[in-house]
């Protein structure tokens, strides 16, 4: 109990510090939903404001990364980019950060591609909790998820996959629907917003909400147990 109280105290102190002078909004969703295009457009259109775009995980990795790496090794590299995002945000004087995917995208991908008691899932869950407890991961003020029809994403994939190198596995309909359902459930559990990719103006009306890191840890642990 003493450890829980100590962790709670650290969590509340960190949340207060993290969001005292900055606002972090993350946009997550399936591939080809239009997340990156919208974020970059918002930053470009508001170039007189103090807004910073934070790249997604793949853009922070070595482009020569071996896709043949084991699932655990590859996900560890993705998780380590959370530390890079942490440094980007904490070393910047921007007032608003638009983050292309949060840690929740890594978690959703893990749930969609691993079994309930697999060592791969256990590794990712434990690593995420470790990062949260050590205060080395960014918890957004507001989670935003793009709710896009499968037909839209698969059409964009067919037009762009050669240029982007997107894996066909990421537009598999079963995988796609799992992620969409997961994001909807996450919004119900912790709050946030589901918007369509063409409904850009809703961004201006987002209500910023802070999230307790203890709640996030509990959700990660509980969701990992019930999803297979």
Residues of the chain with pLDDT under 50: 1-12, 14, 198-210, 228
Q: What does the alpha-carbon distance between residue 43 and residue 41 come to, in Å, rounded to a whole number?
A: 5
Q: What does the alpha-carbon distance between residue 165 and residue 172 come to, in Å, rounded to a whole number?
A: 15
Structure tokens at 228: 């297979």
Residue 70: the pLDDT is 86
Residue 150: the pLDDT is 85
2-226: CATH homologous superfamily?
P-loop containing nucleotide triphosphate hydrolases (3.40.50.300)
Where in the chain are the domains? 2-226
Residue 203: the pLDDT is 44
Residue 180: the pLDDT is 92
The per-residue pLDDT for range 28-74, each reduced to its tens digit, is: 988 887 777 777 777 766 665 678 889 888 777 766 666 667 888 88
Q: What does the alpha-carbon distance between residue 213 and residue 207 come to, in Å, rounded to a whole number?
A: 19
In terms of pTM, does the model score above 0.85? Answer: no
Q: What does the alpha-carbon distance between residue 96 and residue 46 come to, in Å, rounded to a whole number?
A: 11
């Amino acid at each position: 109990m003493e450890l829980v109280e100590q962790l709670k105290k650290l969590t509340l102190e960190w949340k207060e510090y993290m969001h005292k002078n900055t606002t972090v909004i993350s946009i997550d969703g399936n591939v080809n939903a239009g997340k990156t295009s919208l974020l970059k457009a918002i930053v470009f259109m508001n170039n007189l404001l103090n807004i910073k775009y934070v790249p997604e995980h793949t853009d922070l990795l070595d482009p020569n990364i071996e896709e043949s790496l084991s699932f655990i090794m590859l996900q560890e590299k993705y998780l380590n980019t959370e530390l890079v995002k942490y440094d980007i945000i904490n070393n910047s004087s921007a007032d608003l950060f638009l983050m292309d995917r949060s840690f929740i995208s890594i978690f959703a991908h893990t749930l969609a591609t691993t079994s309930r008691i697999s060592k791969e899932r256990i590794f990712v869950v434990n690593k995420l909790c470790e990062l949260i407890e050590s205060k080395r991961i960014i918890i957004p003020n507001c989670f935003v998820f793009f709710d896009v029809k499968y037909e839209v994403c698969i059409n964009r994939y067919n037009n762009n996959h050669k240029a982007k190198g997107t894996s066909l596995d990421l537009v598999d309909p079963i995988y796609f629907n799992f992620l969409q359902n997961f994001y909807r459930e996450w919004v119900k559990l912790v709050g946030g917003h589901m918007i369509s990719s063409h409904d850009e103006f809703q961004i201006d009306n987002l209500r910023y909400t802070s999230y307790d890191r203890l709640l996030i840890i509990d959700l990660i642990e509980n969701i990992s147990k019930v999803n297979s």
